[in-house]
Structure 1
Amino acid sequence: MIPVDILLKFNAIKKEFKKDEIIFSENNIARNYYQIDSGIVKMNNYNDDGKEFIQGVFYKGQCFGEPPLFIDVNYPANAVTLADSSIYILPKQQLFELLEIHSDIHLEITKNLAKRLYYKAIIASEISSQEPAHRILRFFDYLKNDVYKVSGKFSLKIDYTRQQISDILGLRVETVIRTIKQLEKQGAVKIEKRKVYR
């Protein structure tokens, strides 16, 4: 998202996190910009029954947790590593100084936030009204076309567990497993060594 040389110029630090380590917690004050150098990070919440809801999953080169920086609110979710991760951290004030100088980066961050809002609107619509197969394929196609930008049949390996897919889409894990098997029979996905390809 932000070129590394520019991050470093504005005094970003790179910090290493172990798998399952909490980067920040829901309701913490938003103080920093985070950008992934390597690894995977999820943002999640838990309901009163302890069921996890995954707000999003972020990969190398992506940033996360930045919306609260712009509106002075606390984090609405937790950020937790899904693998050992290396993350650039830039304090809020330095981020704002960087954006004042680099209007092109400011525009890219705005576009990125707009894409996320669009995705959230699509997922909210899918969860409220569509069948499980439709929800799952829509999610996979979002990853394929908008996140990874790859083309070709079965060119994208879905790096989410069945449990994570169920948590993101508001489905039971049993429903996700059954539906993915049905989608394979229909030729919409391929399963190879328990990995799903779209």
Structure 2
Amino acid sequence: MQKKSELLATSLLFNGLPAEQLSKIAAIAVGKHYPKGATIFHEGDPGIGFYLVANGKVKIFKTSFDGKEQILHIFGAGEPFGEVPVFYGSPFPANATTLSDAELYFFPRNEFVDLVTATPSLALNMLAVLALRLRRFAAQIENLSLKEVPGRLASHLRYLMEEQKRRDKVVLDIPKGQLASLLGTSAETLSRIFGKMSEDGLIRVEGKTIVILDPNGLQEH
């Protein structure tokens, strides 16, 4: 239980809560293991609770009628997902699948709502997480609707630079095929754009590592 509480304390959702409250949250958290490629929930499933990634990666995506997949989010350690239905009592609005072996914590809706009701600071943390999620959605909508694919890729690389706190290079945390889906394009188009950015002296591709040769030029995309 101590290890679980320590992990919860590092997440944005539960950051800053006192040990007593973390213990109560840990008590209702149910540990679940999923192998790579496992379905966590489908779009339309009842929103009976939400999840937090202990380790591994999870993708949230929607599928069109013709089978095309659009990735909405990629979540890693310490990040919650599926939390909106907790308050609305609505079905999950998208699908969730593991991108690697993953350890998750599941928080049942009724028990968690009881904790939020009794813990105002937890409610404030939830608002902060939802506000951050809304900001990411707004940025993604802007990228998909207003920018061409090179601009979307440049924006994503700048996002990784900020997240990884580096300006010289970043490491892609998902395969290029998954990145193409996240950016709303095909793997072939993404490969061509990586090649064009390399030719233009903006980046150098070394497998999953993208060396940033011209941060200012990348900013102009």
How does the TM-score come out when normalised to structure 1? 0.89
Q: Is the 8 A contact 1:158 1:197 kept in 2?
A: no
What letter matches 2:204 in structure 1?
Answer: K
Against the structure 1 CA distance between its residues 5 and 179, is the aligned structure 2 distance closer, same or farther, given a 3 Å change threshold?
A: farther
Identity of aligned residues (%): 27
Residue 119 of structure 1 is matched in structure 2 by: 136
CA distance in 2, matches of 1:121, 1:186: 29
How does the TM-score come out when normalised to structure 2? 0.80
Once the two structures are TM-superposed, the CA of residue 189 in structure 1 deviates from its matched residue by: 3.0
Residue 36 of structure 2 is matched in structure 1 by: 19
Cα distance per residue 1:48-100 (max 9 Å; x no partner): 11111111110000000111221121111111111111011110112112222
Alignment of 1:151 onto 2:169: no
**Residue of 163, 167, 170 corresponding to 2:184:** 170
Bigger drift between 96-105 and 62-71 goes to: 96-105
CA distance in 2, matches of 1:101, 1:16: 30
CA distance in 1, matches of 2:122, 2:146: 36
CA RMSD of aligned residues (A): 1.9
What letter matches 2:192 in structure 1?
Answer: R
State the SS of the aligned residue for 2:179: helix
Residue 189 of structure 1 is matched in structure 2 by: 203
Q: Is the 8 A contact 1:33 1:95 kept in 2?
A: no
Cα distance per residue 1:130-153 (max 9 Å; x no partner): 1211111112222332xx351332
Residue 124 of structure 2 is matched in structure 1 by: 107
Residue 41 of structure 1 is matched in structure 2 by: 58
Once the two structures are TM-superposed, the CA of residue 7 in structure 1 deviates from its matched residue by: 2.6
**Residue of 87, 99, 102 corresponding to 1:82:** 99
**Residue of 53, 68, 85 corresponding to 1:68:** 85
CA distance in 2, matches of 1:194, 1:38: 20
Residue 141 of structure 1 is matched in structure 2 by: 158
Against the structure 1 CA distance between its residues 30 and 151, is the aligned structure 2 distance closer, same or farther, given a 3 Å change threshold?
A: same
Once the two structures are TM-superposed, the CA of residue 105 in structure 1 deviates from its matched residue by: 2.7
Residue 115 of structure 2 is matched in structure 1 by: 98
Against the structure 1 CA distance between its residues 114 and 139, is the aligned structure 2 distance closer, same or farther, given a 3 Å change threshold?
A: same
Larger of the two Rg values belongs to structure: 2
What are the within-5 Å matches in structure 2 for residues 43-58 of structure 1? 43-58=60-75
CA distance in 2, matches of 1:139, 1:168: 10
What letter matches 1:124 in structure 2?
Answer: I
CA distance in 2, matches of 1:98, 1:144: 36
**Aligned residue pairs, count:** 194
Once the two structures are TM-superposed, the CA of residue 104 in structure 1 deviates from its matched residue by: 2.5
